[in-house]
Amino acid sequence: MPRAAAHPLLVCIAAVFSCAPLGSPAEVGEEPAPACPAPKVQQTEWRSVELVRIGIRLKMPKKYAEKHWAVTVGNPVVATFRASHAEDFTLQLDAPEGRPLGEHKVGRQNTYDGYTECPETISGRQAIIQSFREPHVIFMDRWYPAFAVHAVYDLSPGHILRFDGSAATRQGQEELLAIVRTLEFTR
């Protein structure tokens, strides 16, 4: 590549990585929000979204937009929403073979900071919610630990719904913990 052509590429890459600040240095070392009890997050300005293929309705902040993937493998029943490159969540429908709900949660790693989990009933369905900091996930000028939220729901016999989300700040994590509790099952 000619030397002159490399400069616009570097500008584009720098712009992508400088658009979403991580916050103050205190947030970098901040403890994650606990999985339970539910955080007190204002939801009056949130929007409601129905995902017909998955069979759910949920509420989320307006900053989230659905991400449509150009390429998928197989025919997954999945929806991803992003607020920024460092703040997103994915819902995926799985059809596992006869394993209990607890075997579908994210396996706890000794590198997770502040790990908590709790069972909860959401819209009449059993769920397990997990919250922690996951190291070396967000890259800006160095690697940062993400604020992670995972949940699994017993959707219907033979179907599990998985929620996987991450945020750059504890406030973003608290929003994700509130989102997982807004699910309504439409079938």
Compute the radius of gyration of the chain from its Cα atoms.
18
Express each pLDDT in 173-184 by its tens digit.
999 999 999 999
Six-digit token string for 85: 């490159």
pLDDT computed for residue 182 by the predictor:
97
The answer to whether the CB of 163 falls within 8 A of the CB of 148 is no
pTM (two decimals): 0.81
Express each pLDDT in 72-89 by its tens digit.
655 678 899 999 878 999
Express each pLDDT in 63-74 by its tens digit.
999 987 666 655
- Is residue 184 within a helix (H) or strand (E), and if so which, with residue range? strand 184-185
Omega of the bond prior to 37 within 30 degrees of 0, cis? Answer: yes
**Helix or strand or coil: residue 58?**
strand
pLDDT, greater one: 165 or 3? 165
Mean pLDDT of all residues in the chain? Answer: 81
User: Which CATH number do you get for residue 148?
Assistant: 3.40.1000.10
pLDDT computed for residue 10 by the predictor:
32
**Helix or strand or coil: residue 187?**
coil
Q: Count the domains in the chain.
A: 1
- Band (pLDDT 50/70/90 cuts) for residue 15 is very low
Q: Percentage of the chain with pLDDT > 70?
A: 76
Express each pLDDT in 107-121 by its tens digit.
898 889 999 999 999
Express each pLDDT in 147-161 by its tens digit.
999 999 998 778 899
Note down the domain range covering 30: 3-185
pLDDT computed for residue 72 by the predictor:
61
Nearest to 59 by CA among 40, 80, 45: 45
pLDDT, greater one: 72 or 32? 32
The answer to whether the CB of 46 falls within 8 A of the CB of 62 is yes
Six-digit token string for 100: 């209990």
